[in-house]
Structure 1
């Protein structure tokens, strides 16, 4: 290359670096805006949880709710998780617990609770109806159809809720949008969901990582995205919605006529309702998206959290759990999944430090020190808002260590997730297809046996009593 060509290329290269550096700093500011929005939302919404007037209203004056809890095996803290639905401060609800197999180990726990609360309107349904590859949907079909009420509250078996959660959630679902609502006032609320808040029952590494992830970065971005509310963003651990709405959608995400009903204008050959979502692994997210896009209704959050009990989760369990949902998300929201690494503290910190160093000669070490310190401070503030107290002094450094490890692992896990299309879920292997639908798969693509630490999941699903500290 001639010297003239080198001279000509230098200004172009400098201009390109200027543009890239400016874009990097701009993206950093956008990301911090979202992070602070999530932190502010957590402070305003979760630090004060008033009692709903529905909690003490006459039963005939409040809408009935059917609580559906699909069960499989002895999940962590199963007794306490299920009991939290028997102790809801709401005058008009029924509880339907369901298992696919009459020999399921959850049944003795269920029968103990039915005996302890004989005056509760509660029952158990044994036996699934296969409508798709998703075992949770198959387990839910019969309770879904037999529920006495239109409003359904679907709760995963590893979730515990506070006594006032149902009343506040019904408030959010049926009440007029308040000034604190995150949803546009012009749209009806079609679904109420709850941000997960994890608590580890054992000092396993994977459980600590899951705790650090769900209670900080995940919660922060989850709250921010739902506050902006440009699209559906729902984790289905605890969802409240109307069966009459679900009966009108099918997961196509194509808007339908407001007058459409299950027996009206719908194509009779086209499945609608819960059965239509049996082909998806993330059926909860797809139901939420279908309500949003097909019915043009919106979502809301009450001021409650879904307390997610985590037992013996190893490092391998944690990694493959995150890989599973990355592989599902990339087939559902590819663009959002592709930019995910650029929302993580390590990647965005390195990019921004390079940009600032190029433009303003800011030392990289100085920026990165401030960056990680402030990022951690915001995440700890989000934790305090959701928990109602800061991280306990006895576990603070353990939590910070898990937080740092989670941040460092984020990019490798994302890369691993993008490299395959097969996932393991509750002992079964699936291949993820377009839009998040799945089919049964064979083989070993989902695991890389040559990666010693991550080659196999030994996730144990056991029952672990809740300590007095955790119950507070």
Structure 2
């Protein structure tokens, strides 16, 4: 017996590390899945009254998002007693203006208004738009909503009810990616419905601040107490920063059980990578140590590292098990959030999506630059922004002045 024990190969330290990493990946996947199930239960609001304070809805717009007209029309069709719709477009030539004007003509009885042009307010163009709309707000509760969001009629009612709880200063929503037709859109929706949705639910369930600006309901007095929009005008992650300031001010944050839709139909691979490059750099600055260990939640990467570390059957079996778990998670959470599972062709992209994201994660560790709405920016601590280079229009202005001086 002793001889047999001596001949048995000892497991190396590297193998133990990989098995531990795989265990963490499985645990975090199952835990986030469980929290998502708990956070989407309809029973979560049964103890809350039908609380419907008048709301001013802020919709900052830029360009023609996919399905923009239907996205905005869904806000004209809300089942809610009193609400004001405000749309803001910075560029007078923006094609979104015509879309809004058509809807204003279609729904003339709604309290809705289009604002064109923004005063210079900071480096975050979304916050500039929000500050412009805040000047014509009529109600004491504000809903900030992105243009790529589509909602059901009961959305506002099932979100505002959480404000009835004492001490609640902000309510946000889970969201699901829908409508994929292209390769990039399929990757985006898998990531939103899988990793992102699960971790947003887990973070909120554990009492951490995890706020996404697609849907933020906040009383005006709470926003004023944390410094208003001026305090976040130069931050890339104004949504998370608002959430952190709300919590520091002594208020609580609630995650509504109502799931909203994020429409992604024909996105390109480049768009997908650029978007998540920004999100990785946001999490690097805001999450700190949690961002460093984030690859442990990337099932495909852990699976490949485990498989190629050993030629044993258990290693390759682990590869199949972890990849299968990722596909099952994305399928089950998509079904939970949007009512149907993606096609098998789409689900087969789940491990490919994970592998595409790893180089983007490494880039976020060493590269603070982002391209956002045509601007090259550097992301600093707490996502504070500064221009990476002098804007083109400044170069043009200086060149014209030099020409005039040369002629004179």
User: What TM-score does the superposition give when structure 2 sets the normalisation length?
Assistant: 0.85
Contact 2:301–2:355 at 8 Å: present in 1 too?
no
Q: What is the Cα deviation at residue 224 of structure 1? A: 1.6
> In structure 2, what is the Cα distance between the partners aligned to 1:54 and 1:364?
50
Residue 397 of structure 2: aligned partner? none
SS at match of 2:35: helix
1:60-459 → structure 2 map (5 Å cutoff): 62-175=52-165, 188-200=167-179, 203-229=181-207, 231-249=208-226, 272-292=227-247, 294-350=248-304, 363-391=314-342, 396-442=343-389
Q: 1:311 to 1:362 in 2, by over 3 A?
A: closer
Greater helix proportion: 2
SS at match of 1:247: helix
SS at match of 1:114: helix
Q: What is the Cα deviation at residue 200 of structure 1? A: 3.5
Q: 1:420 to 1:365 in 2, by over 3 A?
A: same
Deviates more, 1:345-354 or 1:272-281: 345-354
Q: What is the Cα deviation at residue 146 of structure 1? A: 2.2
Structure 2 stretches lacking a partner, 5+ long:
1-9, 392-408
Residue 32 of structure 1: aligned partner? 26
Contact 2:86–2:112 at 8 Å: present in 1 too?
yes
Deviates more, 1:157-166 or 1:203-212: 203-212
Structure 1 stretches lacking a partner, 5+ long:
1-13, 177-187, 250-271, 445-472
Contact 2:330–2:347 at 8 Å: present in 1 too?
no
Q: Deviations over 1:73-124 (max 9, x none)?
A: 2221111111111111111211111111333211111111111112211111
> In structure 2, what is the Cα distance between the partners aligned to 1:145 and 1:247?
13
> In structure 2, what is the Cα distance between the partners aligned to 1:443 and 1:331?
24
User: What TM-score does the superposition give when structure 1 sets the normalisation length?
Assistant: 0.74
Residue 402 of structure 2: aligned partner? none
Deviates more, 1:406-415 or 1:84-93: 406-415
SS at match of 1:404: helix
> In structure 2, what is the Cα distance between the partners aligned to 1:84 and 1:312?
21
> In structure 1, what is the Cα distance between the partners aligned to 2:220 and 2:340?
36
> In structure 1, what is the Cα distance between the partners aligned to 2:82 and 2:46?
14
